[in-house]
Amino acid sequence: MLPQHTDPNPSTVHQLLALFLLHHQPSIAPSFPSISAYAASQTPKPLYSDLLRNALNDRPHPHELCEILKSSLQHLTPSQTPLIDEGEYIKFVQAEHAATYPLDAYTDLYLPRLGPGIGECLNSIFEVIADIAIKSEDNMMSGGKVCLLLGWWLCGNRKLEGDWQKVYKEWQVAGQRVEHLFYAWIR
Per-residue pLDDT tens over the stretch 39-54: 777 767 777 778 877 7
Same-domain pairing of 143 and 94: yes
pLDDT at 21 over 90: no
pLDDT at 153: 80
Which among 124, 122, 116, 125 has a CA at the least distance from the CA of 89?
122
pLDDT at 61: 67
71 is a domain residue = no
Residue 128 pLDDT grade (very low, low, confident, very high; cuts 50, 70, 90): confident
Per-residue pLDDT tens over the stretch 137-156: 877 888 898 898 888 888 87
The answer to pTM > 0.75 is no
pLDDT at 90: 95
75 is a domain residue = no
Per-residue pLDDT tens over the stretch 85-99: 889 999 999 999 999
Same-domain pairing of 46 and 86: no
Same-domain pairing of 28 and 116: no
Look at the chain and report how many structural domains it folds into. 2
